[in-house]
């Protein structure tokens, strides 16, 4: 909220506008140009960090114990693509969170080392910087904590701190990159996670046609169908109860957990959030995902059960999957075919300026 609200202070607004202008001449604005090149030199100068948020999003939250620097972003980008730290050299963040697939993998589940199939759908990392907890069940409190999960997970990268220190320690360019990022060349899991999290804070996507219409006053940025769809989103369909849009920004998530019935139809219903909180009230609850870039990140839901947005809308239309813990905001909507079409037209306006990130050449 702060970002766009602070724009009411003229000085800040001009600062943001100048930054945007500078970047608009250089292509994709959300990732600073130096982060989008293959192995750029350690950037010096350039815009402020974190960059001002794109239209429709709030200031990018940065924890005080991991300040953002260009050197850390660059190290994080190298590590995001680094397969050599995984147990068999095949898995990296980017093999499940593929830049060309909306930072997801276009499959029902993740695929880790030795081709091991995961048990949950791969969420995009675009705008993950804005979540107050990470994973479908919110079990990690920060991006820093989250990044250690897949590195150590036996079904994902199956690595260890020992392996990271050994593998990266044998590559001189990494010693240099850690020194630039942290002041000395010591390599640790903690530092790797901090650098990866810092890189992820550059992976924000806003400025979509919807944002240009809602927050930028561009009447023609979206169609009449999409405008009707947004009305339905807020009224009859009640989507906005969980996928929030407020006066100054549109996170399209409430950062909370809800039971909409996904997984409650299984023989052994999924516990979801309850597994973390041990609270029976949280049974079958999962984190509300942001709907930004949703057209690029099929399949959908924590178990990747729906291949299309049409299927998702049909699911909501019939009132989710009935179960004793179903959220009271999920009920049969009785949408007409035309209304579903309009909702879909609205969801399609949420494609923003997702950053284009090139795979770096592996450091030697
Ligand atoms: C084997 C595939 C795989 C690999 C490799 C992988 N991830 Fe993920 N990622 C997933 C899956 C699946 C989830 C959701 C798991 C869950 O919620 O239980 C996830 C969740 C996340 C989330 C949380 C997003 C949200 O919406 O809550 C972030 C952030 C993330 N991964 C970043 C990373 C980073 C950084 C790396 C590399 C260190 C990485 N991932 C490696 C599959 C993968
Ligand atoms: C009660 C809160 C709530 C309401 C109301 C709600 N959603 Fe959701 N939405 C969620 C949660 C929670 C999930 C994830 C559920 C899971 O995977 O188990 C989700 C998932 C989704 C997804 C899948 C996104 C992805 O990346 O997998 C889409 C699309 C979606 N919702 C659209 C809508 C639309 C359209 C409406 C209105 C018709 C709506 N939602 C109403 C909470 C809600």
CATH of residue 170's domain is 1.10.760.10
Residue 30: per-residue pLDDT: 41
Residue 287 DSSP code:
E
Residue 48: per-residue pLDDT: 83
Structural domain contains residue 240: yes
* Residues 280-298 pLDDT 10s: 999 999 999 999 999 999 9
Ligand nearest to the Cα of 305, by number: 2
Cα–Cα distance, 320 to 284 (Å, whole number): 12
Residue 176 confidence class, pLDDT cut points 50, 70, 90: very high
In a shared domain, residues 266 and 326: yes
Cα 249 to middle of ligand 1, angstroms: 25
Q: Rounded mean pLDDT of 310-327?
A: 97
Range of the domain at 227: 209-350
Q: Which residue would you say has higher pLDDT here, 42 or 49? A: 49
* Residues 230-261 pLDDT 10s: 999 999 999 999 999 999 999 999 999 999 99
- Write the DSSP string, 64-115: TTS---HHHHHHHHHHHT-GGGSTTS---HHHHSBGGGTTB-SSSS-B-GGG
Pocket of ligand 1 (CB under 6 A): 91, 93, 95-97, 110-112, 118, 120, 122-123, 125, 128, 131, 134-136, 143, 146-147, 150-151, 156-157, 196
In a shared domain, residues 36 and 96: yes
In a shared domain, residues 135 and 253: no
Pocket of ligand 2 (CB under 6 A): 237-239, 241-243, 258, 260, 262, 286, 288-289, 291, 294, 297, 300-302, 309, 312, 316, 327, 329-330, 343
- Write the DSSP string, 217-229: --GGGS-HHHHHH
In a shared domain, residues 286 and 177: no
- Atom in ligand 1 nearest the alpha carbon of residue 110: 2
Cα 98 to middle of ligand 1, angstroms: 11
In a shared domain, residues 194 and 213: no
Residue 46 confidence class, pLDDT cut points 50, 70, 90: low
Cα 122 to middle of ligand 1, angstroms: 6
Ligand nearest to the Cα of 132, by number: 1
Residue 7: per-residue pLDDT: 41
Residue 47: per-residue pLDDT: 73
- Atom in ligand 1 nearest the alpha carbon of residue 134: 27
Helix (H, G, I), strand (E, B) or coil at 230: helix
In a shared domain, residues 194 and 241: no
Least confident of 13-27, 54-68, 117-131, 340-354: 13-27
pTM (2 decimals)? 0.90
**Which residue's CA is minimally distant from atom 35 of ligand 1?**
147
pLDDT of 24 over the 70 cut: no
Q: Rounded mean pLDDT of 308-329?
A: 97
**Which residue's CA is minimally distant from atom 3 of ligand 1?**
96
**Which residue's CA is minimally distant from atom 12 of ligand 1?**
122
Residue 5: per-residue pLDDT: 42
In a shared domain, residues 92 and 136: yes
In this structure, what token pair is assigned to residue 23?
Answer: 């970047």
- First-to-last alpha carbon distance for the chain, in angstroms, is 42
Split into its structural domains, the chain has a count of: 2
Cα 108 to middle of ligand 1, angstroms: 13
Q: Rounded mean pLDDT of 215-219?
A: 97
- Atom in ligand 1 nearest the alpha carbon of residue 302: 17
In a shared domain, residues 313 and 190: no
Q: Calculate ∠ Cα 154-159-165, nearest 5°.
A: 165
- Domain edge (last residue) among 148, 169, 200: 200
Q: 3-class secondary structure for 48-74? A: CCCCCCCCCCCCCCCCCCCCCCHHHHH
In a shared domain, residues 97 and 184: yes
- Atom in ligand 2 nearest the alpha carbon of residue 258: 12
Ligand nearest to the Cα of 105, by number: 1
* Residues 155-172 pLDDT 10s: 999 999 999 999 999 999
- Atom in ligand 2 nearest the alpha carbon of residue 297: 26
| Whole-number average pLDDT of the chain | 90
Structural domain contains residue 363: no
Cα 299 to middle of ligand 2, angstroms: 13
In a shared domain, residues 181 and 275: no
In a shared domain, residues 303 and 325: yes
Q: How many CB atoms lie within 10 A of CB 185?
A: 15
């Amino acid at each position: 909220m702060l970002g766009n609200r602070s724009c009411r202070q003229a000085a800040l607004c001009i600062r943001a506008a100048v930054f945007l202008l500078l970047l608009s001449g250089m292509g994709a604005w959300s990732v600073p140009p130096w982060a989008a090149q293959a192995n750029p030199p350690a950037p010096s100068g350039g815009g402020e960090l974190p960059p001002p948020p794109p239209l429709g999003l709030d200031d990018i939250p940065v924890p005080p114990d991991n300040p953002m620097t260009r050197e850390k972003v660059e190290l994080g980008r190298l590590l995001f693509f680094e397969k050599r730290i995984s147990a068999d050299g095949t898995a990296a963040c980017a093999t499940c969170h593929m830049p060309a697939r909306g930072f997801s993998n276009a499959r029902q589940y993740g695929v880790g080392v030795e081709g091991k199939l995961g048990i949950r759908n791969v969420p995009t990392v675009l705008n993950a910087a804005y979540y107050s907890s990470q994973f479908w069940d919110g079990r990690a409190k920060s991006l820093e904590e989250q990044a250690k999960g897949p590195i150590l997970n036996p079904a994902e990268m199956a690595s260890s701190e020992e392996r990271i220190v050994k593998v990266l320690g044998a590559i001189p360019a990494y010693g240099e990159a850690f020194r630039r990022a942290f002041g000395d060349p010591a390599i640790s899991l903690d530092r790797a996670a901090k650098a990866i999290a810092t890189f992820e804070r550059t992976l924000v996507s806003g400025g979509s046609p919807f944002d240009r219409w809602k927050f930028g006053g561009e009447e023609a940025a979206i169609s009449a169908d999409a405008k009707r769809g947004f009305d339905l989103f807020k009224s009859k369909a009640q989507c906005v109860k969980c996928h929030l849009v407020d006066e100054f920004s549109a996170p399209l998530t409430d950062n909370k957990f809800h039971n909409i019935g996904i997984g409650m139809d299984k023989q052994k219903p999924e516990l979801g959030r309850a597994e973390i909180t041990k609270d029976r009230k949280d049974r079958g609850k999962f984190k509300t995902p942001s709907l930004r870039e949703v057209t690029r990140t099929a399949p959908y839901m924590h178990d990747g059960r729906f291949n299309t947005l049409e299927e998702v809308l049909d699911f909501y239309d019939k009132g989710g999957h009935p179960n004793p813990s179903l959220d009271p905001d999920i009920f049969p909507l009785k949408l007409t075919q035309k209304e579903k079409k309009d909702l879909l037209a609205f969801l399609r306006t949420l494609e923003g300026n997702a950053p284009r990130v090139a795979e770096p050449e592996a450091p030697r």
